[in-house]
Structure 1
Amino acid sequence: MRRLRVSAGLLVATAAMAVAGAPMAHASGNESPQYWNPICLAHGSQNWTVDGGTIPVPTEQLQYGNPYGTADCVEFLQALLGIPEDGSFGPQTNAAVRSFQQANLVRGYCGPVDGIVGPRTWFCLMAQN
């Protein structure tokens, strides 16, 4: 079982989002994610606003073979993509990211199809969940 260390600022932000009615993912792993994942966002986040909607997205950029991606954010990404969560950005995750990006090119702010999960892809993934 994982333990979560939460700062006072993160607790205030979490409480504010809960009061505002924003859906949140549970912190313990395999639950269905929504807009917020406190474990991943604790590593850093920024607000992204598109078409009048603002969502905090992770600042962590993920890509295939990236040794710097935290397992927490990769697991959150995998949950958003609906694939098995192992915390490793391997071939299956890479294929799922590219497929998601390709399917969402019509939404102009979601591209390009490069397999890199930066703010645009995070926003699109989180906005649809």
Structure 2
Amino acid sequence: MRTSTTRRGLAGLLAAAAAAVLGVVAAPSALAASNDEIAFDYFVGKGLTERQSAGIVGNLIQESGSPINPYANQPSGPGMGIAQWSEGGRWDTDSRDNMVWYAGLSGRSRYALAAQLDFTWYELSTFSGYGLADLRASTSVSTATTVFMQKFERCGTCATTQRIAYANDVLAKYGTGGTGGSTTETSLPVLRSGSSGAAVRTLQYLLRASGRSVTAAGSFGPATDSAVRSYQSAHGLTVDGVVGNNTWYSILPVLREGSTGEAVKGLQRELVDAGYSLTVDGSFGPATTSAVRSYQSKVGLVVDGVVGNNTWGSLVD
């Protein structure tokens, strides 16, 4: 088993430890592990092989974006958190098998990354039907990914090939033989009253997508401050009007072809700023997919046409 110090150095190890203990959701950088890497290290630390751990994380990326997002909330659906557990089921209802109950046992936030990873392991190690035995028996990334997909996620639209691709990418980046991962800047800016520019405009589109009435004009004034505080209050975040990592990760959706609405308009405006010719119409069609894939290839991200936290973080500055 490799050690994190050989790849990230002391500063990265401390950042990963803080995330594991406190459930901090940290934006990836040269000195801090992304949530994908933290999760990979977590499952390796539980005794799973690197291939088995990558299979789990590949599934979690498909479910909540990359880096995996403990605040992920399925648009118009029940999915919540890194594994998209269902509201009315494994997120908040099932007897002795729900995330809200489990986090409450230790007084942690249901949105803490560490709590969600612990709950994933609790489910795997407590309920045989979630497939831990089969996962431990798997010897390839594809088998491990498929086992977790079928027995733990029990997904509807499975996207098996994409899950396996994500898992292989995780193994290449963070496994013993990996090279570390992309150096692409994927951090998100801290915004507050008085901020201005394209990042504020994108934030305003996302606030509009959440049902709040703001103008996407790129100026962080009183109306935007009020909308941010309203959003933070409604989602269990610190209500301070400051848009840092936790607020960004909560409000950023995972977008892909077929998505529609104000968030897509925000994405399209960012892509236009990046030099792509697009109609800002709020419809994620083939032209937007092509632009996203082109952008991802250009900046060294996984080229999948899906806009998760890494792609958002690269675009928004």
TM-score band, normalised by the shorter chain?
0.5 to 0.7
**Identical amino acids, percent of aligned pairs:** 32
Q: Match for residue 59 of structure 1?
A: 252
Secondary structure of the 2:314 match is helix
- Which AA in structure 1 matches 2:206? C
Aligned length: 88
For the Cα contact (< 8 Å) 2:206–2:252, is it kept in 1? no
Matches within 5 A, 1:14-93: 17-19=192-194, 22-24=195-197, 34-36=198-200, 37-41=203-207, 43=210, 47-48=244-245, 56=248, 58-66=251-259, 70-82=260-272, 83-93=278-288
Deviation at 1:47, TM superposition (A): 4.0
1:75, 1:59 → 2: CA distance? 13
Deviation per CA, 1:48-72, whole angstroms, max 9, x where unpaired?
Answer: 49xxxxx936421100124xxx410
- Is residue 120 of structure 1 aligned with residue 310 of structure 2? yes
- Look up the equivalent residue of 1:17 and give its one-letter code: R
Partners of 1:81 and 1:96 within 8 A in 2: yes
Cα pair 2:206 2:266 within 8 Å, conserved: yes
8 Å CA contact 2:205–2:265 kept in 1: the answer is no
Q: 2:294 aligns with which of 84, 92, 99?
A: 99
TM-score with structure 2 setting the length: 0.25
Instruction: Please identify which structure carries the higher helix content.
Output: 2
User: Higher RCO, 1 or 2 (CA under 8 Å, sep at least 6)?
Assistant: 1
Q: Which moved more, 1:39-48 or 1:113-122?
A: 39-48
Task: Name the one with the larger strand percent.
Answer: 1
TM-score by length of 1: 0.57
Q: Distance in 1 between matches of 2:284 and 2:305?
A: 10
Amino acid at match of 1:71: G
Cα distance in 2 for partners of 1:113, 1:17 equals 32
| Residues 123/86 of structure 1: CA separation in 2 closer, same or farther (3 Å cut) | same
1:15-36 CA-to-partner distances (Å, cap 9, x unmatched) read: x7134xx324xxxxxxxxx112
User: Structure 1 residues 48, 113: CA separation in 2 closer, same or farther (over 3 Å shift)?
Assistant: farther
